[in-house]
Amino acid sequence: MQTTTAKKPFYYGWVVVLGCSIVIGASTGLITNCAGIFIKPVTESLNVSRGAFTLYNTMSSIASICTIMLWGELFRRYPARKLMLLGSLILSACIFGYSFATKLWHFYVIGALYGCFSTTTAGLGIATVINNWFLSRKALATGLAWAGCGVSAAIMTPIATRVVELYGWRMGYRLMAGTGLFLYLTAILFFIRESPAQRGLLPLGAEQSTKDLKTWQPTGLTRAQTVKTPAYWAFTLGLTLVSFIGMGMTPHIIAYLTDIGYSSATASSVQAAVMWALVLAEVVLGAVFDRVGPVYTSLLTGLSLLLSVLLLLFAGSSPLMPWLFAFVYGFGYATLSVPIAYLVGENFGTREFSAVYSLCTMPSGIGGALGSPFSGMVFDTTGGYLTVWLIYLALSVVCTLALTFAAARCAREGYKYR
């Protein structure tokens, strides 16, 4: 007698992941990862220093920090798709607005407005949607979603670089704005649904403990409980350093490589290679993190950044070194995205995920805000990036220790299951 095994139906959450990937590609991929394209042409056109220009990123990050707690509450009360749609329209208008800037303060004002809405299409918005849909395979889902920022940046870096060379940086910003808006609307309108309950489903993995959609409840610490734990403070220190190092390096890679003798074409190709490596890294790390758990995830996060900084220090020693750096930093840069949402849920649970996530990432936003201008200002002072890379090397060690301690403490106390 033949027996048949029932085939599990396709889980719609993976369609949501695709939509999240497109959204992240439009936001982090086009705007953050391609920001280095504009540093030299804009500073030369407006006759300003690199440190002064990259402060617009600081303005954006500060605005994001000031509003993330508000967005955490809004995402608890209102549909995620509506908030993401609102954010996408305003963010695209901001990027288009950069193309009309004639003074440095124009970038600061527009950057601040951009920061107020930036978390709706990355960070909190995406993390909330994915955590609504996934309990198991959450890191893989997060990795697949964040892979979109590598794909879009890898494709658009050489295209935008060429457009800037031929038509100027203003046209480059307009290209980014139009492309981003198209991707936003496609993903949010056609792919993303904020909750599995909208389709009569449970989060993936919830079926292991219950079959009843009405009785299932998430577990973990509340925001008030989280802030009282030593693990929270160590975790936020680690996240802050991850953001500080990552955002301090990425916008300056192209400028640094051209400063040490590589052509702009080679430098932009290396940046594109970082993004392609990032695509691989997001998926690989997501799958690995699901298997090894939060402690080893924290350790791998810190070590990936440390090795990336070390290779960048020796980028000028051999023509092959920038390409080796590009591959390794793809994994290092992935630590700014995949581990954060995963570790928040694994360390502190999902009972009040959006509130706890905003609480943990608000300090890290400060690190991201300071990283790029810090690198620019040290460059302006010393005439090179060597001092910056040495500082980041030391901070990578501290980052690794802080994240690993936090994960170990959370696992021992069992915060995730309370």
Is 267 in contact with 257 (CB distance < 8 Å)? yes
Lowest mean pLDDT among 255-259, 264-268, 409-413: 264-268
* Paired residues of 349 in beta bridges: 220
Q: What is the pLDDT of residues 343-399, one digit of tens each?
A: 888 899 888 888 888 888 888 878 877 888 899 889 889 988 999 999 999 999 999
Q: Count Cα neighbours of 337 within 13 Å in the Cβ-side half-sphere.
A: 37
pLDDT of residue 164: 94
Mean pLDDT across the stretch 220-241?
92
Quick count: other Cβ atoms within 10 Å of Cβ 47?
A: 7
161-170 per-position pLDDT tens digit: 899 999 999 9
8 A C-beta contact, residue 154 and residue 279 = yes
Per residue in 34-50, pLDDT (tens digit) is: 888 898 899 999 999 88
Q: What is the pLDDT of residue 340?
A: 83
Any idea what DSSP says for residue 199?
A: G
pLDDT cut 70: percent of the chain above it: 96
| Predicted structure pTM score | 0.74
pLDDT at 3 (0 to 100): 46
CB-CB neighbours of 212 under 10 Å: 10
What is the model's pLDDT at position 163?
94
Which is higher by pLDDT, 350 or 3?
A: 350
For residue 333, pLDDT beyond 80 = no
Q: What would the mean pLDDT of 87-116 be, rounded to a whole number?
A: 96
Is pLDDT of 195 > 60? yes
- At residue 26's C-alpha, the angle toward residues 25 and 28, to 5°, is 65
pLDDT of 2 higher than 50: no
Quickly state the pLDDT bin for 211 (edges 50, 70, 90): low
- Listed ranges 76-80, 97-101, 291-295; the one with the highest mean pLDDT: 97-101
Classify residue 197 by its DSSP letter: G
Q: What are the C-alpha distances in Å from 33 to residues 78, 155, 342, 396? A: 30, 11, 21, 21
